Structure 1
């Protein structure tokens, strides 16, 4: 498509943008003052701007009738076959208050004009009508697209099948740009044109080149008779073939001579009819009108000859400003519609375009600008004016625009900037929509501890897509096989749906969120039908393909825009730094003042706000609490008080950093007193108890486990000592033998039921080993050092043997290496995973400081990192510059030194003040949590199983899974058999066959199978779009499990893309000699190890002892050998 350039019309009174390949015809021949004509120098397409007298209400009762009237005047009285394809309400970006309408039709030309030019097969007409009531003017714009043989690919054009071809694609783009850029600069133009009596040259749509001998005699407009063609025209039955294939009845036209109905075309009864009934009624009305017009042909012809003598020869190349008496005469010859139009007319069903229904105002907002130049006020007036037409609230198109921009970049800075600008716009224009916008952008509808799950299977979305987009099962399956992502399938399906009989009601951010909540709350008998209807309505009301893409991705809970929790918190902190809602009084920083600051000063302001918001969310991880408070007081110290710890609302747990061996621990904690604790092989639990004895138990990922452990719920009130009324403590729930006190492995605990457990039916006994106390009698203890918190825990709570106790521990220092090693060995012998090492005090022990180091402050030098030779800034360097402290990469570094190790409890942070040491595997003490995503058929003895198995890490920025290794070590035959049964393609095929056999037909293609649906085989027929791997395993798994694996070392790889750009711009990372250890039933795939974590392990490995260069990079063959 050629570039668009500004064009001045009517002496600069109107401006618009057109392709630079279009030329002004007035440079070639005379054009009347009330018309501007532009012609494609490289083709046959023309664009005509025509100022006409406004059709008044007495002559055209509605704008729709005025649109039809103008179109009839354009096509004239020729015997051409004319077909309507769509009409729609449009929005002018720069004149949002001016009513605008669009129409698309095709006309088959029958005129040869002495073979002076090639004749088109047909001409497409894209008409835009802009109605100016005060100026008593209608602006009629037509984009005329002749389809000349040899100039377009006929096989790609089939309007009935919604294939419009490249010429129409280009014309649609021109019309869209006209809607976006048309602007009236001087309204005095209309005073001139209304008094002008000159006629207007016209380029009729069926003639694609200007005539050399065109003159401008006065002429009158008249209606086109629209004679029925012998050819089969597209009736409304076409639009219902997908819904009623077995019961379709063709709509019949009334017999010739049948009297026309006196019933108005649109009346209040329409709203009481079903979509199909109303559509058929409309079709019958149109057919009767055609017959009536045909019967009056001779009378109309006489009238035409008396008012426009000599017009027939030039009808196809001219159109003129109508004389009002002629208009009245023509309308009076037809049956007058009633003057009292029903209110229901606004909702009348008619052919609508899904392509042009997209929000042109929102689609041009540059959310991806830097916030230091983005001014929401420039766009809010237009947005609010647009919203007021239907809902008065921010439309979902605003959120979709943000998603599209975020999805188009991998720059963390760009993603944050785009979210910041979105949030600022919503804050200043519609603050009530901010909370649902945040939930939708974070791909959730509630915090984890509130049981609000959508519970949608892939079949519900598949059925909705087939019904709304007119697809059958084979068509949907073909799209899914091609694109692999449910959202992309919806995008393509919606894009192919060119027409609909119902104008979509604009989705708003609030309405989408409310719909999701309704889906989640639908339970019990009939709930699936309720959910299905809501999903269908969401897809039905989606305006355009992009909205459909992100509605479906939201429904399958895989948004894939990289807006993770930390990113949203950063965006919120910066948005409220620069914007506030109308009426709020808290201080903000004008962007003009922020733009003048130095980079270091700006970063300091950003960082302070980020830390406050992150700390609040870590203490109370619920946007329902955070966002309303931000709207009220902004980001300030009071926010920490308003969003602090609260009973029965979990805080995000503090995390420990993994270390390779004892030597690393002693190096990191040089000069510090620390405590070593058994790391039990159980389930981490956060226990809340209030003064009334109410107990709530949460998992490490904040899910409620109260129903799972009724025995602990009964036990907890008994462990309170004197003076303890309420508390929040943390511990490990471990399966235990009550009689002997022996600990049992996690696999035993995982066999315990998860819901509706009755205390008398408990067969697996547990013991709670407490290790921290965060809240006591209404007071937060997070800022107290660990030594003090531990002392309160052990002095105020009561031990109950084999039911409740505290973890076994040992206090030590860096001088006690042998004692610590012995303690570690004792932990492993007692069936523990290893040990946890925790700093006891905020300040170093002065007796342990190395005098030679001269360290006086509680901070440590930064761990050296291997760097590459100097070159252009690498992606890893850019990411390091862009990334925020997200709790996954250790301490933030300040001034070349690591932030001081504190003994405080830091929710949602992974710090070196907590270190964990696990059992060694060969030279590495590290393990990594990976996601199985695919497999190959085994050889020899393993031929009936999957071996090797492809494993992946999670990219926290993109949401993708990046393959890292193939594993075939550590599995037992029993595990192999169970794994083959779990991921069984034969079971999937059998299930599909059973469905077909029972119903007699295929029920459709489920585009995203529910997790843990065993009967589906848990496999995918194609590689998931969110898995990054260039190879082709024999089968793709449905990602749903987390496996803990050990390994020998980490190498650079040309085959795997895991962590690419973090340590090398050209190569990813791979694991050598991976060994399966266990399935992590306590972890979801969102908690699997990340590519950042993998890169950090690699850096630690290189710092400890880098390999020779010839061994640092492993080729694909070597990696397979390792397996």
Structure 2
């Protein structure tokens, strides 16, 4: 396939607004890729290069040769040239990398150069997120979207899934399974305003887990090798020695555990999330990081057996037989609303976030936010994405202050603005967000700074009201900042549908 045709596909995806239209464009491009081009081509369509590290930074993309008059590059040739650039090392590597990069760009037309710059910089904004690519792969290969999504969530590798679906179909996708040591996207919980609404989703009896105010972790152990991943699949093993030590002490060979890491203060109550998050984020293995300990609530693999498709009650029984009770989250069975309300009150009184009510017969739905797990907090909160920030005035002059908040639109892959807030911002947060949003800025009018929609923020609010002022038709009442969520990606933010549902309730 000509690389120029892939560049045209990228431009087309940017130009159309509807999800269905984007999927059609992407699927047609995937069908045209030769077997050896699928891995690279699918990566390019997702805005990535196949090679994780190329050594090419912004400086190398400043002075580029004039574009070629005619197209000559194929997808396979571009992939081969980028692969050559990615392995350059040693003395003289910078000059050699610049030479190879210049050679590639000199063969590229203007449209191809624009695509290459976006791929190398990681800033290709064409609206083709992983979810859209999954839809397109299913359509191009003529296989079930459910099978594609499951394979993608288990492998975490869009390229592998694309190759399997387009060359081997459904049977090849079914061969993709959980691999100990490879992080998989965790199951997520929906939200409910109270325990009664949560029980309507899960049914009764339900299992009531205390919702800890910690950071989500997934721990893999294979023999003596242990890896700890965040909910965004980042490897933080070196930063959580307490977690590693706890899992090393288990009498198992291979295991995959899902849970939270948190720290308790001298009073036995949980330390603030912001403090826990900063400890996990630091690369230091100091004693403060070592204080974080795991509390597990699910077991996904045990000594050669995958448990993902087993009912929750089976997985939790296996967890109880594998992990000491002091390392398992507080949980109980609740038969009715009264018992659930009692468990909720006890969790909140202990300083925790609330409850997660779980259907005991449900499998572990990798990467999905369904009705089998429902979280209940003592206040309404949403995880939203910052779309823009206004410069402050008065005491906040010189700081980026008023946040423009957006909910995710699952149909378009974009975001719908819900309103603004400057409430809940301490001086420390103002300093941090000013630096952060300058890094993400794409435009500055002198009053409003438009940013790349990447930063997730947890917002508390008192209710949802109709509003003709915003495109979603709704706005948040008395919105205020609780914390920034560096453990979440923008594509994990809450949706406009969820906001409207809360408003309807």
Aligned position for 1:68: none
Cα pair 1:1041 1:1084 within 8 Å, conserved: yes
| 1:140-179 correspondence to structure 2 within 5 Å | none
Cα pair 1:836 1:917 within 8 Å, conserved: yes
C-alpha change, 1:1051 and 1:408, in structure 2 (3 Å) is same
Aligned position for 1:810: 332
| 1:387-402 correspondence to structure 2 within 5 Å | 394-402=1-9
Aligned position for 1:639: 173
| 1:842-921 correspondence to structure 2 within 5 Å | 903-920=362-379
Q: CA RMSD in A?
A: 3.0
Distance in 1 (CA, whole Å) between partners of 2:263 and 2:86 is 34
Aligned position for 1:36: none
Aligned position for 1:829: 349
Match status 1:562 vs 2:113 = no
C-alpha change, 1:955 and 1:555, in structure 2 (3 Å) is farther
Deviations 1:754-781 (A, max 9, x none): 47644x7555511100100111111111
- Greater fraction strand: 2
Aligned position for 1:765: 291
Distance in 2 (CA, whole Å) between partners of 1:753 and 1:1099 is 34
Deviation at 1:708, TM superposition (A): 2.1
Aligned position for 1:551: 116
Describe the SS at the equivalent of 2:356: strand
Distance in 1 (CA, whole Å) between partners of 2:355 and 2:55 is 39
Please list every run of 5 or more consecutive structure 2 residues that lacks an aligned counterpart in the other structure: none
Distance in 2 (CA, whole Å) between partners of 1:665 and 1:540 is 59
C-alpha change, 1:798 and 1:949, in structure 2 (3 Å) is closer
Cα pair 2:188 2:369 within 8 Å, conserved: yes
C-alpha change, 1:927 and 1:755, in structure 2 (3 Å) is closer
Aligned position for 1:576: 141
Aligned position for 1:1056: 470
Cα pair 2:457 2:485 within 8 Å, conserved: yes
C-alpha change, 1:966 and 1:523, in structure 2 (3 Å) is farther
Aligned position for 2:60: 460
Cα pair 1:749 1:764 within 8 Å, conserved: no
Q: Which of 1 and 2 has greater Rg?
A: 1
Aligned position for 2:314: 788
Aligned position for 1:508: 74
Cα pair 1:931 1:952 within 8 Å, conserved: yes
Distance in 2 (CA, whole Å) between partners of 1:410 and 1:776 is 45
Aligned position for 2:492: 1087
Deviations 1:163-183 (A, max 9, x none): xxxxxxxxxxxxxxxxxxxxx
Match status 1:970 vs 2:502 = no
Distance in 1 (CA, whole Å) between partners of 2:15 and 2:387 is 28
Match status 1:418 vs 2:25 = yes
Deviation at 1:979, TM superposition (A): 4.1
C-alpha change, 1:1088 and 1:556, in structure 2 (3 Å) is farther
Distance in 2 (CA, whole Å) between partners of 1:918 and 1:540 is 57
Aligned position for 2:458: 1044
Deviation at 1:437, TM superposition (A): 0.6
Deviation at 1:457, TM superposition (A): 4.5
Match status 1:931 vs 2:345 = no
Distance in 2 (CA, whole Å) between partners of 1:774 and 1:1034 is 46
Q: TM-score, normalised by structure 2?
A: 0.89
Deviations 1:665-715 (A, max 9, x none): 133344x3211111111111111112x221122211222222222342233
Distance in 1 (CA, whole Å) between partners of 2:85 and 2:264 is 41
Describe the SS at the equivalent of 1:569: helix
Describe the SS at the equivalent of 1:1056: coil
Deviation at 1:808, TM superposition (A): 0.5
Distance in 2 (CA, whole Å) between partners of 1:551 and 1:1078 is 36
Match status 1:612 vs 2:212 = no
Higher mean C-alpha deviation, range 948-957 or range 523-532: 523-532
Distance in 1 (CA, whole Å) between partners of 2:349 and 2:157 is 41
Which structure is higher in RCO with an 8 Å CA cutoff and minimum separation 6?
Answer: 2
Cα pair 2:207 2:357 within 8 Å, conserved: yes
How many residues are matched? 505
Distance in 1 (CA, whole Å) between partners of 2:179 and 2:397 is 55
Aligned position for 1:668: 201
Deviation at 1:553, TM superposition (A): 2.1
Deviation at 1:654, TM superposition (A): 1.0
Please list every run of 5 or more consecutive structure 1 residues that lacks an aligned counterpart in the other structure: 1-393, 470-493, 495-499, 578-605, 842-902, 985-1010, 1012-1017, 1024-1031, 1060-1067, 1105-1123
Aligned position for 1:626: 161
Cα pair 1:562 1:956 within 8 Å, conserved: no
Deviation at 1:918, TM superposition (A): 1.7
Cα pair 1:783 1:905 within 8 Å, conserved: yes
C-alpha change, 1:958 and 1:412, in structure 2 (3 Å) is closer
Aligned position for 1:441: 45
Deviation at 1:839, TM superposition (A): 0.4
